[in-house]
Amino acid sequence: MRCDDRRIIAVCTSWEDVENLNLMLGRLIEITEGTEFLPLCVAFDRSGVESRGEESLREFMAAFEIPNLAGILLLGEMIRSDEINQHIIQLAQKKQLPVFMLERRYEGCINMAFSYLGGFEQVTRHLVEDHGCTDIVMVAGIKGNSFSEDRIALCRSILEERGKSLPQEKVIYGEYWDEPTYRALDGYFSSGGRIPQAFLCANDAMAIAVSIYLSERNIRVPEQVRVAGFDGILPGENHVPAITTARPDFTFMYSKMLDRMRTWRAEDTGKTEEWPIPYVFIARESCGCVQGNAFLSAKKSGELKINNLLYTRHIRALGNFIRKTLSMSSLDSLSELLSSLFSGWPNPYYFAAVLDEKDRAQAQCVLHGTHGLFASGYRFRWKESPVADVESVLSDPSIRILMLQLLQNEEETMGYLISGMQDLNLREQGRFEEEALFLSAALNAVLGNRRLKAANNAILFMAEHDYMTGLYNRRGFLRELEHTLHLPEMQEKTLTLFAVDMDRLKSINDVYGHQEGDHAIQCLAKALSRVTEGKGICARYGGDEFAFAMMGAESLAPDLENLRSRIEKAAREYCGPKEYLISASIGAYSCPVSRHFSLDQILAEADAALYADKSARRSR
């Protein structure tokens, strides 16, 4: 099989349970290795997508518009949003693709449900039947939660088979996390509870917490008390002692998924299937079945130290990156910084894009890295395929999984980040999430600065330009003229300043209305801009008063009548057939640029020439 024949399995999930997510994705990478499938994980913050409304949801859905899509796996219990699940199901059915729904049930899906009680029964029976533990403290999850209460009932039932019981005082609730577990253990021992034969925990996180709590009180596991957990997360495997547990049979689940995608037909779309997923029991050190290995423990400890050093270096690099973007307003500058930042990390593929603020279907690439070679700057239609070079990605054997996350702030989706990885341990997964969070913060700063700069420019433009014509107002005209006259290349030239007064504007307003008067003013403004384009500066002072300045090798005042003729002709072309004609009185005054002069004096001279011209035209 050629790599470019690979098809993508899109996995949709949230970041809320990163350890179980890593376990699941790690097994998916192993199962798809050497097959025609490539996993793509689209991870998101659920509250962020839901709170931004329909537009944000549509942009989230665009992440699944990927060529060569073979099927979609929805981790329903992690997503916990009917709205998101339903939208993705509809998208998949429109494409006639299978939807594998894990831990939630929907019509038209292949619904996969973990056989929790079957797996928990294996762990419980191992303690009771293989180790003879009948004095058990049950560390349950959340009080009243069905998953938690069902496991309590199962444990009680298995003990009753042996003529033993599980009294209520030996049921404590750790709420599935470490801190509540510590508090529950404090409560148990402070009320007179004794060390049992075993602590049976409803998940591995609480089993780890129990082991730590006991070791801090010099109670040895498993020599003095056995501990078992449930769900098989990686920290339980790396803990000392490693936690006895049961984990879902992901090999069974993924193998069945791959076979179903290979045999999928368009007519299967919309059919509902039910798949129970069994558990695999894993005996480890915490129950005494496996002896501790000093070499492996030292190796794990060394790996953790290295990961901590890498984490520190990574966070420091991201912190410096954020610091450099605080005042940045250019996406090109951000791209340069991103290339430098990501070149220090070994993943074979990186891609980041920023959505266009006006056309949300368009995006600009700010990072495109392939095996250490980086490019950026080009634009593309991301909603047609968020992976711009999907063919080269599919043909790259070093890419074994793709991770995709939207880059968001509290109000909008700004872009997205994709990373193509060879392996996905917890540190790699955490680093990708950190990169996405820091890049979101940087992008928020850059876009905010760019908008602020644009707003300031707009305010400055409004302050120096006439709102009706777009020409400079008096303030802007004088500032621009002052700047131009001080340019070195202007010192040998002659300035000619023209004062312009539109003829008979009051008559146009009185006879044809102010709307026609405004139209006539705009036509004269366009005519002035055309005649002086690239060679002068134009302004409207207000009402029917205009001015323009031109620089040349000699005075342009003698060319006044020719300029007037060109201006009036252009204005009439812009105006179109009307019952009135546009004409203007014009006065001019010239002086060498190098001479020390007062702009106010030049303006006064030009105004005087204008009034003389107006008087002469009236008398004619």
- In-domain check, residue 457: no
Domain boundary among 204, 228, 247: 247
User: What is the distance, to the nearest Å, from the Cα of residue 357 to the centroid of all Cα atoms in its chain?
Assistant: 14
Q: What is the pLDDT of residues 176-227, one digit of tens each?
A: 999 999 999 999 999 999 999 999 999 999 999 999 999 999 999 999 999 9
Tell me, yes or no, whether 7 lies in a domain.
no
Q: Which position has the higher pLDDT, 27 or 598?
A: 27
In this predicted model, what pLDDT tens digit does every residue of 105-161 receive, in sequence order? 999 999 999 999 999 999 999 999 999 999 999 999 999 999 899 999 999 999 999
Q: Give the CATH number, domain containing residue 195.
A: 3.40.50.2300
What pLDDT does residue 565 have? Answer: 95
Triad 319, 320, 326: Cα angle to 5°? 90
Predicted local distance difference test score (pLDDT) of residue 12: 94
Q: Does 590 have pLDDT greater than 90?
A: yes
The pair of three-digit structure tokens given for residue 446, joined into one six-digit string: 């850059």
Q: How many other C-beta atoms lie within 10 A of the C-beta of residue 87?
A: 16
Final residue in a domain of this structure, among 203, 223, 247? 247
User: Given a cut of 70, is residue 620 above it in pLDDT?
Assistant: no
**Domain boundary, last residue among 214, 247, 280:** 247
Average pLDDT, the chain: 91
Quick one: pLDDT at residue 127? 97
Task: Indicate which CATH number applies to the domain containing 520.
Answer: 3.30.70.270
Of 596, 618, 594, 614, give the one whose Cα is nearest residue 606: 614
Domain for residue 142, yes or no?
A: yes
- CA 466 to chain CA centroid, Å, is 40
pLDDT 10s digits, 349-405: 999 999 998 888 899 999 999 998 888 888 988 888 888 888 899 999 999 999 999
| pLDDT score, position 474 | 93
CA 382 to each of CA 71, 92, 215, 356, 390: distance values in angstroms, whole numbers, following the listed order? 20, 19, 53, 10, 12
Average pLDDT over residues 265-277: 96
Q: How confident is the model at residue 1 (pLDDT cuts 50, 70, 90)?
A: very low
Q: How far is CA 575 from CA 123, 507, 572, in A?
A: 89, 16, 5
Residue 597 has pLDDT above 80, yes or no: no
Is 494 inside any structural domain? yes
Residue 396: the pLDDT is: 94
Question: Does residue 326 form part of some domain?
Answer: no
Cα(125)–Cα(129) distance, integer angstroms? 5
Over 60: is that where the pLDDT of 611 sits?
yes
Looking at the predicted structure, is the pLDDT value of residue 330 above 70?
Answer: yes
pLDDT score of 608 more than 70? yes
Indicate if the pLDDT at residue 605 is higher than 90: yes
C-alpha separations of 579 from 509, 515, 529, 576 in Å: 13, 14, 24, 10
Flag whether 128 is in a domain: yes
pLDDT band at 66 (very low <50, low <70, confident <90, very high): confident
Please provide the distance, in angstroms rounded to a whole number, between the alpha carbons at the two ends of the chain: 93
What is the predicted pLDDT for the residue at 256? 97
Cα distance between residue 379 and residue 106, in whole Å: 38
The count of domains in the chain is 2
What is the model's pLDDT at position 18? 86
Residue 234 falls within a domain, yes or no?
yes
Asked, for residue 324, whether it belongs to a domain, the answer is no
Residue 489 belongs to what domain range? 474-619
Q: Which of 458-462, 569-573, 604-608 has the lowest mean pLDDT?
A: 458-462
Look at residue 458 in the predicted model and tell me its pLDDT: 84
**Alpha-carbon gap, residue 443 to 278, rounded angstroms:** 44
